[in-house]
Amino acid sequence: MIPNDRRYTKDHEWVMMEGDTATIGLTDYAQRMLGDIVFVELPQPGDPIEAGGRVAVVESVKAASDVLSVPAGEVIEANAALEDAPETVNSDPWGAWIARVRVTVWNENELLDPAAYEALVKEEEEKA
């Protein structure tokens, strides 16, 4: 089930806005495609993030993948629990956020609403 309280990228990240803070994570579809996640390289608080820039790197048994940010801003928090338990992204993709960014530039038009994201996932699953 795709949560309605966030928006999605075509690269399978989710973004949940609360005031001027964006919480960013990987979708269930992304973690399934990556396989077992074994390492998450987290950003540091204070790191600047450009729109479309890398927030983190997630490594799985299959591949390494950049986690990108739609909003530009500054990292205010990284989910340090993922350092010791990166597999949490697999077991709880909707709860295992990766970073929180204080947003300075935001283009919500680049994100998909839940229905559009669900259609994208269905299309990609049919191609696979």
**pLDDT tens by residue, 100-123:** 999 998 888 889 999 999 999 999
Type of residue found at 68: L
Distance CA 32, CA 30 (A): 5
> pLDDT digit string (tens) for 42-75?
999 999 999 989 999 999 999 999 999 888 999 9
Contact (CB, 8 A) for 6 and 75: no
pLDDT at 3 over 80: yes
pLDDT value at position 100?
A: 97
pLDDT value at position 61?
A: 93
pLDDT value at position 110?
A: 85
E strands in the chain? 7-8, 13-18, 21-26, 37-41, 48-49, 54-60, 64-68, 72-78, 99-105
pLDDT value at position 106?
A: 83
Q: What is the mean pLDDT of the chain?
A: 95
Percent above pLDDT 70 for the chain: 100
**Confidence bin at 128 (pLDDT 50/70/90):** confident
For the whole model, what pTM was predicted? 0.94
Show the domains of the chain with their CATH numbers: 7-127 (2.40.50.100)
pLDDT value at position 65?
A: 94
> Which of 121, 123, 124 is closest to 27 using CA atoms?
121
